[in-house]
Amino acid sequence: MTTIIMLFILPLGIIFYFFDKKTKKINKKLLDDYVVKIRASELTQKEKLNSIDKMYYLNDYKIVHKTHYELVAEKKHFNLGVLFIFFGLLSYFGLPLYYIYYRFILKPEKIRITFEQ
């Protein structure tokens, strides 16, 4: 049974890993383009920060620090491909090990957006 899991889950995990890596780059570019668009808009400083804050909140980022000129958001990125790789390589021990990795080892990605004072 374990061999069958490794034969199907491990290659699937590798495919998901690279697909997720590609879509993460695309999504980051979309978020960056949105920030550039908002910075160039005619809104007030407070409206710009609130709009960017809302956009990051809707994309499951946690706002860590917010002032009138700076916004810091963070998010831990769940990767299904890494979960499948852990499960495919270590079979049933892979699930708790991935949980330990995600909960305690994986550091959240921080995004800092600043505006001139």
pTM, whole model, 2 decimals? 0.79
Specify the higher pLDDT residue, 105 or 2. Answer: 105
Cα separations in angstroms, 109 against 7, 66, 69, 71, 73: 32, 16, 20, 14, 8
DSSP 10-21: HHHHHHHHHHHH
- Report pLDDT digits (tens) over 21-77: 999 999 999 999 999 999 899 988 889 899 999 999 999 999 999 988 889 999 999
- Report pLDDT digits (tens) over 67-106: 888 899 999 999 999 999 888 888 778 889 999 999 999 9
Q: What is the pLDDT of residue 64?
A: 94
Q: What is the pLDDT of residue 74?
A: 95
Model confidence at 10, pLDDT cuts 50, 70, 90, reads confident
Domains of the chain by residue range: 2-114
Q: What is the pLDDT of residue 117?
A: 57
Residues 6+ apart with CB under 8 A from 37: none
Mean pLDDT of 11-29: 94
Residue 75's CB is within 10 A of a number of other CB atoms, namely 14
Q: What is the pLDDT of residue 58?
A: 93
